[in-house]
Amino acid sequence: MYKVFVNDTPIIITQSSKIESIFPVYAFKEISFDEILDKLKDNSIKGITLYSTDLEKDWQAFTKNLKVVPAAGGLVLNDKKEILFIYRNNVWDLPKGWIEKDESIESAAIREVEEECAIFELSIIKKLITTYHIYHQNGFILKETHWYLMHSNYNAPLKPQLEEGITAVCFKSDAEINETLQNTYANIKLVYNTFKEA
């Protein structure tokens, strides 16, 4: 299954015959990319499910309509099991960014977390999930973000990367995270839920 967000509205592409979706279901081969986006413009629809008979083939067909931009980031734990968040555009987020040419995904994830938060001594524990988000910028772009569970015991003050529009960086405890998740993106909730379910 692939879950792609347009803003916070999901497009779910699945070949499971046991579709229990709260969203309208369409056969992938009977709907065009433009029709999908048109349906999502209708604010009465909270999401859409596309039934596929060949998931990987249909995923390739879906992504042909988009410029794919790979990115990487981290859900970072400290020794207290608190989670590192950044605050940008009045929304709580997790640190992430584009993968540079000839850079490995893991190296990009660590570099982006370091740059955005001024945190160091990072280690990757494991891969968590890959999330997908469509936005429009001179055409449709699919941001494909690879997320890693990380740890750091770095204790020096953290500094937000102001030139990237980040205005705050901090670790949050379990008690604080529920409120934080009320003001974040659907993809970030997906990353957090994946971490909690692991």
Hey, what domains does the chain have and what are their CATH numbers?
2-63 (no CATH), 67-197 (3.90.79.10)
Tell me the range of 7-11, 38-42, 107-111 where mean pLDDT is highest. 107-111
**Residue 36 one-letter amino acid:** I
Asked whether 191 and 14 are in contact (CB, 8 A), the reply is: no
pLDDT of residue 16: 85
Share above pLDDT 70 across residues of the chain, in percent, rounded to a whole number = 99
pLDDT of residue 153: 96
Give me the chain's average pLDDT, please.
Answer: 94
pLDDT of residue 129: 98
User: Is the per-residue pLDDT at 37 higher than 80?
Assistant: yes
Per-residue burial over 58-83, b = 16 or more CB atoms within 10 Å of its CB, e = otherwise: bbeebbeebeeebbbbbbbbeeeebb
Share above pLDDT 90 across residues of the chain, in percent, rounded to a whole number = 83
* pTM for this predicted structure: 0.93
Q: What mean pLDDT is predicted for residues 78-96?
A: 97
- The string of DSSP letters for the chain reads -EEEEETTEEEEEE--S----SS-EEEGGGS-HHHHHHHHHSTT---EEEE-SSHHHHHHHHHTTSEEEEEEEEEEE-TT--EEEEEETTEEE--EEEPPTT--HHHHHHHHHHHHH----EEEEEEEEEEEEEEESSSEEEEEEEEEEEEE---SPP---GGGTEEEEEEE-HHHHHHHGGGS-HHHHHHHHHHHH-
Q: What mean pLDDT is predicted for residues 113-124?
A: 98
